Amino acid sequence: MDPFLDALRAMTRDLEGNASPRILRTHVSFDDQCVSLHNRNARGVPVLQVQFAWASIRRVCFKDNGPMASDVLYVVTASGDRTLVIPLEAAGGGEFWRQLRARGLFPPELHERATLSMDGRFYCWPPLAGNGLQDA
């Protein structure tokens, strides 16, 4: 099995099962070479700090969660050891999403379709075709 798909299915079950999510405050920043992701819990204590190169991004999935919840980006890097989850409403999340398009890491047509969607689907690049999860 693909570890990315396993992680994605588990996260989807958690969201759909109304599991109590850990309250995180996420901040995304980047420069020309790399992206930094910082998560803090409700008390401001760092719980995750990750840095990765733009060039290491291998797959991006946009998950539409409708008008009442934040859309989410799932990012897989070349190391493949974890799937990074970035809420679009995170500080810097929207700009990161736009940069994925500007840097050619998410095609413009699919980016627009995902951004305007309210159908609860995954929009992945490269596509997930044939892996058991349906993307748009």
The pLDDT tens digits of the residues spanning 6-40 come to 555 555 554 444 433 443 689 999 999 999 999 88
Full-model pTM: 0.78
- Name 86's Cβ contacts closer than 8 Å, sequence gap at least 6: 26, 28, 37, 72, 73, 74, 75, 93, 96
7: in domain: yes
Mean pLDDT of the chain: 83
Q: What is the 3-state secondary structure (H, E, C) of the chain?
A: CCHHHHHHHHHHHHHHCCCCCCCEEEEEEECCCEEEEEEEECCCCEEEEEEEEHHHEEEEEEECCCCCCCCEEEEEECCCCCEEEEECCCECHHHHHHHHHHCCCCCHHHHHHHHHCCCCCEEEECCCCCCCCCEC
The string of pLDDT tens digits covering residues 91-119 is: 999 999 999 999 999 999 999 999 999 98
CATH number of the domain encompassing residue 64: 2.30.29
56: in domain: yes
What is the model's pLDDT at position 42? 80
What is the model's pLDDT at position 90? 92
What is the model's pLDDT at position 64? 92
What range does the domain containing 31 cover? 3-118
Q: How many domains does the chain have?
A: 1
pLDDT classification of 48: cutoffs 50, 70, 90: confident
129: in domain: no
123: in domain: no
